[in-house]
């Protein structure tokens, strides 16, 4: 028995609140240089099938700062690159560690790995979602604006991306209004939006989306694995750059978010991402604190479930 974190829905509303509360405490502890050792003796394995900077750094730093250790397992340098079945890798990995973070392509690979791994698995990014980043973004909004519930978030660009999909998951869960502004063919599919029909609004005009918004968000126009489509994407999304003129339509105290890496001059102008409304550097730092709280949550919950397992088996007869 274990607790995975593959989508935002894997935690209840109360658990999301508790996670943010804990992240605030861990951030303050870091500021005061207080040592926290809740993961002492535990090991995190990080499996990367996609390139990474912030995910790799933040998860390894988080586990180390909590007193544990982290192992970076690149698919290219493991037997996965030579055709070992993913299920076999998952079975073995779970015998060596206490928690796994996996960054991969299709969601089906993540689901298969989690099915065969006996320890909790965290989604470090898939083609279908980036829930650890969305947790961080919502935490950053709460930190700067005081609350997420009731706020209006405008996501501009390719809103069918993993970021757009995970923001859609969070809309009803966190109680915000989400405006997704994209050209034709770049909105999430209907089955993605169905979880939050009263909270998600699909638009084609970025000005309409940003007008009066509390938060303006964008992401790269060409994600990993889409490089062959780059030229077409640049043409399709050319009118969806977040620049100073667009930001002026949002609330005067609106904040700008971008999960990074950013391409200045494409999805965002330099004056916005490097300007006073930008929270991207706090956003990047907060990956560390939120993921510390997430590691504690899934590992400790899984350990409690394993302790209860003998009694549950006995009760079932």
Third-level CATH fold of 131-282: Rossmann fold (3.40.50)
Q: Which residue numbers are catalytic?
A: 103, 130, 133, 219, 259, 287
Q: Which two tokens stand for residue 83?
A: 């055709």
> How far, in Å, CA of 69 to CA of 61, rounded?
9
Delimiting residues of CATH 3.40.50.1370 domain(s) in the chain: 8-129+286-315, 131-282
> How far, in Å, CA of 300 to CA of 293, rounded?
10
Task: For residues 168-177, give the mean pLDDT.
Answer: 97
Residue 299 gets the label, from left (phi > 0), alpha (psi -120 to 50) or beta, of alpha
Task: For residues 246-275, give the mean pLDDT.
Answer: 97
Range of weakest confidence among 173-177, 187-191, 298-302: 187-191
Task: Decide if 217 contacts 258 (C-beta within 8 A).
Answer: yes
Q: What is the mean pLDDT of the chain?
A: 95
100-143 pLDDT, tens digit per residue, is 999 999 999 999 999 999 999 999 999 999 999 999 999 999 99
Bridge partners of 45, per DSSP, are 71, 100
> In which element (H, E) is residue 70 found?
strand 69-74
CATH 3.40.190.150 fits 8-129+286-315, yes or no: no
The pLDDT score that the predictor gives to residue 284 is 98
274-311 pLDDT, tens digit per residue, is 999 999 999 999 999 999 999 999 999 999 999 988 77
Q: Which two tokens stand for residue 275?
A: 């300007």
| Closest-CA residue to 223 (of 179, 298, 141, 165) | 165
Range of weakest confidence among 24-33, 91-100, 214-223: 214-223
> How far, in Å, CA of 214 to CA of 175, rounded?
14
Q: Is the pLDDT of residue 56 over 90?
A: yes
The pLDDT score that the predictor gives to residue 317 is 66
Task: For residues 249-253, give the mean pLDDT.
Answer: 97
The pLDDT score that the predictor gives to residue 224 is 66
As a whole-number percent, the residues of the chain with pLDDT over 70 amount to 98
Who has greater pLDDT, 231 or 72?
Answer: 72
Q: Is the pLDDT of residue 313 over 80?
A: no
The pLDDT score that the predictor gives to residue 80 is 84
Q: Is 149 helix (H, G, I), strand (E, B) or coil?
A: coil
């Amino acid at each position: 028995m274990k607790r995975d974190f593959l989508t935002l829905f894997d935690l209840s509303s109360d658990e999301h609140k508790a996670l943010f509360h804990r992240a605030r405490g861990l951030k303050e502890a870091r500021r005061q240089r207080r040592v926290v050792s809740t993961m002492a003796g535990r090991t995190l394995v990080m499996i990367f099938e996609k390139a990474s900077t912030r995910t790799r750094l933040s998860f390894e730093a988080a586990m180390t700062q909590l007193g544990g250790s982290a192992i970076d397992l690149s698919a290219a340098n493991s037997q996965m690159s030579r055709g070992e079945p993913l299920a076999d890798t998952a079975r073995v990995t779970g015998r060596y560690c206490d928690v796994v973070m996996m960054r991969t392509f299709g969601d089906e690979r993540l689901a298969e790995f989690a099915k065969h791994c006996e320890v909790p698995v965290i989604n470090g990014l898939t083609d279908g979602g980036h829930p650890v980043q969305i947790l961080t973004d919502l935490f950053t909004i709460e930190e700067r604006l005081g609350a997420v519930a009731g706020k209006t978030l405008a996501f501009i660009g390719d809103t069918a991306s993993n970021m757009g999909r995970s923001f859609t998951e969070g809309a009803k869960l966190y109680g915000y209004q989400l405006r997704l502004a994209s050209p034709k063919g770049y909105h999430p599919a209907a089955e993605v939006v169905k979880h939050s029909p009263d909270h998600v609004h699909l638009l084609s005009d970025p000005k309409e989306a940003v007008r009066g918004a509390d938060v303006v968000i964008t992401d790269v126009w060409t994600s990993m694995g889409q490089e062959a489509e780059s030229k077409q994407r640049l043409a399709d999304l050319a009118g969806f750059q977040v620049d100073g003129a667009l930001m002026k339509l949002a609330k005067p105290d609106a904040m700008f978010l971008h999960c990074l890496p950013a391409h200045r001059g494409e999805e965002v102008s330099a004056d916005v991402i490097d300007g006073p409304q930008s929270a991207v550097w706090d956003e990047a730092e907060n990956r560390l604190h939120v993921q510390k709280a997430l590691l504690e949550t899934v590992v400790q919950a899984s350990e409690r479930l394993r302790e209860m397992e003998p009694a549950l088996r006995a009760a079932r007869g």
